[in-house]
Amino acid sequence: MKFRSCVRFYSGIGLVAFLLLCNIALAKEDTMYQSDSANTGYYSEYDLRENVALDWTFEIGAPSRATPAVVNDVVYFGADDGYLYAINREEKTLIGRFRSNGKIESTPVIDGEVVYLSSQDGNVYAINMLKKLKRWRYKTGGLIHASPTLYKDLVFIGNMQGQVIAIDAVSGEQQWRFDATAPVYATIAADDGLVVVATTKGHVFALDHKTGLQLWSYRAKNAIRSAPVISRKRVIFGSDDHTVYMLDTKSGQLVWNFRVAAEVRTSPAVLKKIVVVGDSKGGVYGINARTGEKLWENKSFGAIEQSPVVTSDVAYITSNDGNVYAYKIKGGSILWQYRISSRDASGPVIYDGKVYLTTGSKKNLLVLKEE
């Protein structure tokens, strides 16, 4: 819906609804876990190089570890009470909420007016938050930890029963199903006609996005809870075997692997020629994407259990030591750190020059800005 259409539509609805609908409809692109369907973690946003301070918070009364999704004036995030919340980030007010029957630790996909959501109740939902309508619900038959992925009008999801499912984004009908034979904990990556799935048995499968047919497979030495990334004809992921892997998207052959100090249970973030990843002992690494050589190494003082994200020259990471860190991508030095006093916060999202994240123990949405 373009602006002129919004103006014509205004006569039939209230001002608040008009502004919300237009903000949603004018979204620049789909918004989802790790920024895009390929899970790159890259945000084309302003680099936050200076110290940050608290801008505002929103209390919800329930723990939340779900990384938010931000589109124009709306912040969406789930919580342990089973609700998906929509917050107006200008007014700092609750727009609406939708209840599932399980915890929500995933990031929703925002596509215009439609929100695609996965819940630990085993369902994927398509909802319209403005009209408070549920478009469809798909029951996967298993517990879901992963976020949904939207790619070419299909919603992809994996569950802990090892089922990988492609759902028509409009109708909610299943298009295909693939048995990965082991739990799928991590969010699926999709790009270049490829769907990449990782399992807790160490398998990586590449599937045709239209048919679900297996194109190739690869096996790491231990469980994979790290969401794979597709970037520049390569697949990158981490494993509990203390290793970061890069595979060729066409053949599935190993390009390089990089050894770290502990388990890698978060998605790497990829920016052109560098891969940024954290491990469960707090190590943070910059890796040359072409050669697999270490460019730099730094450290936080707690496990990295949420995925890093990057802008053009800054990597942002939350740590279980209760801090959010910003690392300079060239060299790995710490630009700033902010104490959030929560050891179970979500991963960060960068939008409009601010950092958005949720906190478990503090039961709130937290927004930071440069001082």
Angle at CA 267, nearest 5°, toward 328 and 196? 135
* Dihedral, CA of residue 161, residue 167, residue 173 and residue 178, to nearest 10: -40
Burial class (CB in 10 A: 0-12, 13-18, 19+), 100: buried
Beta-carbon neighbour count of residue 169 at 10 Å? 21
Q: What is the pLDDT of residue 15?
A: 44
Q: What is the pTM of this model?
A: 0.91
Q: What is the pLDDT of residue 210?
A: 98
Q: What is the pLDDT of residue 131?
A: 81
* Whole-number Cα distances in Å, 300 to 164, 206, 274, 320, 322: 35, 33, 20, 9, 10
Q: What is the pLDDT of residue 265?
A: 96
pLDDT in single tens digits along all 371 residues of the chain: 333 233 333 333 344 444 444 444 444 456 999 999 999 999 999 899 999 999 999 999 899 999 999 998 999 999 999 999 999 999 999 999 999 999 999 999 999 999 999 999 999 999 998 788 899 999 999 999 999 999 999 999 999 999 999 999 999 999 999 999 999 999 999 999 999 999 999 999 999 999 999 999 999 999 999 999 999 999 999 999 999 999 999 999 999 999 999 999 999 999 989 999 999 999 999 999 999 999 999 999 999 999 999 999 999 999 999 999 999 999 999 999 999 977 889 999 999 999 999 998 888 999 999 99
Query: What is the fold, at CATH topology level, of the domain defined by 31-370?
Result: Methylamine Dehydrogenase; Chain H (2.130.10)
Domain boundaries, the chain: 1-30, 31-370
